[in-house]
Structure 1
Amino acid sequence: MAAIGYHPGERAAQAFAGETHRAEHLGRSIRDTIPPVAADFLAQRQLFVVGAEDRSGRMWTTVLAGEPGFLAVPDEHTVTVAAVPHPEDPLRAVLDGSEGGPTQVGTIALEPATRRRMRLNGLLDGRTSDGWVLRAEQVFSNCPKYIQKRRPVPASPTTRPGPARRSAELTTAQRLRVGTADTFFVATAGPDGRADASHRGGFPGFVETLSPTTLRWREYPGNGAYMTLGNVEVNPCAGLVLPDWESGDLLLLTGEAHTDWQEQAVTFTLTEAVELPGALPMRWSEPEFSPANPPLG
């Protein structure tokens, strides 16, 4: 049950935010098994967000996509994932087994068309001929807040992945992309190394680019668990991914995050950016913005 309970960083973040009571209520719904309704949900998904550390201890987040069925649940403890990242994705070697060793993984299964999502965190537990196996340790649903509705474009082009572009700071084009994004995903890890992946959404401009190496966003009210900010309290390492829904490109960022509790905002300092052209095989429609998105400013 230790994997299900909150760690001291999460407890501290919940207290800072005045959400201890709500967090206790949510905690009772966190499982270490995959119920049938969650298994059915996973089997129909086409997007899967994955966060983990690389072997140097840096956090990364990436996005995998496939036709319904690329995620499967053979038993209540196990998810098989028939997909691996772009060849130059920092998590490719972690997930395809070439770096070896156990890996804690945080994931989100997302259905943008209905604003549904669920979190499933656990341990990379082996590889298959076309992917990898995840053993569940934390399973729970999230609220639909701040998810922009999108639908897969039926005639999605198939684009071969292009070579990665790496840098220690954001280019002007990348800063524009961050500043106009309505969605990103963030991965963090707790004091015991357990990884978690989370969603952030808002109107374009909700993420500010303060400099080529510094981002900032306000933390909007969520489910009250404060898993991301709780992890940051004890381990500032964080990984972000910003998908380009139209082109299939991914922009991965790794660095450190720090919370300003007075402003309810997070500042992220970049260590490395990796842009992956054509990383996703699918394309998505223009967004229908969430009615929960707060106004900017």
Structure 2
Amino acid sequence: MAADVYHQGERAARRRAGLGDQGEVSAGAVRAQIPEVAQRFLLQQPMLVLGAADDQERMWATLLTGRPGFLRAENGGILTVESRPGPGDPLHDRLSRPAPVGMLAIEPARHRRMRMNGRAVPTAHGIRVTLDQVYSNCSKYIQKREQKWVPTTAAQPKRTRALTGDQERWITGADTFFIATADRDGNADASHRGGNPGFVQVMSPTLLRWPDYVGNAMFNTLGNLEIHPQAGLLFCDWRTGAVLHLSGTARTDWDPAHAAAVPGAQRLVEFTVTEVIEILGASPLRWSEPVVSRFNPPA
């Protein structure tokens, strides 16, 4: 295995999880090229989750959408995205200039997802990303949904420093969210978390907690948090197209006694909210009621 597949934080997280060198991925599993089968997958997708830091180094996750074909691989190592965040989006200004980005293409209807990390530059209608890492990911906790396209106009963003009561209820009822993190050098990553409604707990208007379930043992997200606690969360209202962006810091609770109190948890993650942005009608995608994953532990 190539020595640089895992960075310092990921290796530290694997040690804390008691894995050491067990289950390490082969060097060929993480590449800088998009395989042909993945290129076809990308052409079929109407959305892309993107994570990056803003000008104040706060991490955010956002949703880019387009008709199938808006994501295209060029020469295997370049991803062209014919979409960019709207004016109210927390990453609108940052992506008007070159930026490190983490991306997740996810297909709920077929339980598939793919991670890509690289360097984005703006284009006339979106961004062009030179890829550093491309790899498939564990699909256990994806809830099955079918989508349709409904033209929409995004509302003005609502910005607060803490969650409102309605936002707390949104989060506790969620079965899916996305998380953006970065390593010490600013290399960004975007990932998915899923579970039965209630798996994300609202401990207070500025504190969330969720279980970390068994996954692919690469510890990309938790490894980043070991050395760089800034994180961004994205919750989507699958029925209305509203989105909820959260930025703050996260820490992993590695105490096995705490994890034992939560069904299915290998460990717990706590997220402290510092910024909240809610945008109604941000996404033109509307999704069916979910068929929950059979792998979801009880919440």
What TM-score bracket applies, with the shorter chain setting the length? over 0.9
**Paired AA for residue 235 in structure 2:** L
| Structure 1 CA distance for aligned equivalents of residues 215 and 94 of structure 2 | 30
Which residue is equivalent to 1:90? Answer: 90
Is residue 117 of structure 1 aligned with residue 120 of structure 2? Answer: no
Contact kept in structure 2, 1:4 and 1:32, CA below 8 Å:
no
Q: Does 1:150 align with 2:123?
A: no
Question: How do 1:17-32 residues align onto structure 2 when only pairs under 5 Å count?
Answer: 17-25=17-25, 27-32=27-32
Which residue of the other structure, out of 217, 235, 238, is the alignment partner of 1:242?
235
Is 1:137 aligned with 2:132? yes
Q: In structure 2, what is the Cα distance between the partners aligned to 1:23 and 1:162?
A: 46
Match of 1:14 in 2: 14
Could you tell which deviates more after superposition, 258-267 or 20-29?
Answer: 20-29
Aligned to 1:176: 169
Structure 2 contact 150–286 (Cα < 8 Å) conserved: yes
Q: Give the CA deviation at 1:3.
A: 10
Aligned pair partner of 1:252 in 223, 245, 249:
245
Identity of aligned residues (%): 49
| Counterpart among 276, 290, 293 of residue 290 in structure 1 | 293
Map of 2:74 onto structure 1: 74
Per mean C-alpha deviation after superposition, the further-off stretch among 6-15 and 165-174 is 6-15
Matching residue's letter, 1:295: P
Question: What's the CA shift string for 1:80-118, capped at 9, x where partnerless?
Answer: 0011123210111122x1xx3x31100000110001000
What code does the residue aligned with 2:185 have?
Answer: D
Amino acid aligned to 1:119:
R
- Cα RMSD of the aligned pairs, angstroms, is 1.6
Deviations 1:60-88 (A, max 9, x none): 00011111100011211100001112321
Q: What residue identity is the alignment partner of 1:120? A: M
Q: Which residue of 1 aligns with 2:263?
A: none
Q: How does 1:95-110 map to 2 (within 5 A)?
A: 95=95, 97=96, 100=97, 102-110=98-106
**1:165 is aligned with what amino acid?**
K
Structure 2: distance between partners of 1:69 and 1:158: 17
Q: CA deviation at 1:26?
A: 5.2
Q: Secondary structure at the match of 2:40?
A: helix
When normalised by structure 2's length, the TM-score is: 0.93
1:20, 1:26 → 2: CA distance? 15
* Residue of 224, 231, 235 corresponding to 2:224: 231
TM-score of the two chains, using structure 1 as the length reference: 0.94
Cα distance, 1:118–1:183 mapped onto 2, change above 3 Å: same
- Aligned counterparts of 1:285 and 1:210: Cα–Cα separation in 2: 29
CA distance in 2: counterparts of 1:4 and 1:89, whole angstroms: 33
What corresponds to 1:271 in structure 2? 274
Amino acid in structure 2 at the alignment position of 1:170: L
- CA contact under 8 A between 2:2 and 2:27: conserved in structure 1? no
For these two proteins, the number of residue pairs brought into alignment is: 289
Over residues 234-293 of structure 1, what are the superposed CA-to-partner deviations in whole Å (9 max), with x where a residue is unaligned?
000000000100000100000000000113000000000000111101111110000010
- Cα deviation, residue 8, structure 1: 1.0
Letter of the structure 1 residue corresponding to residue 132 of structure 2: E
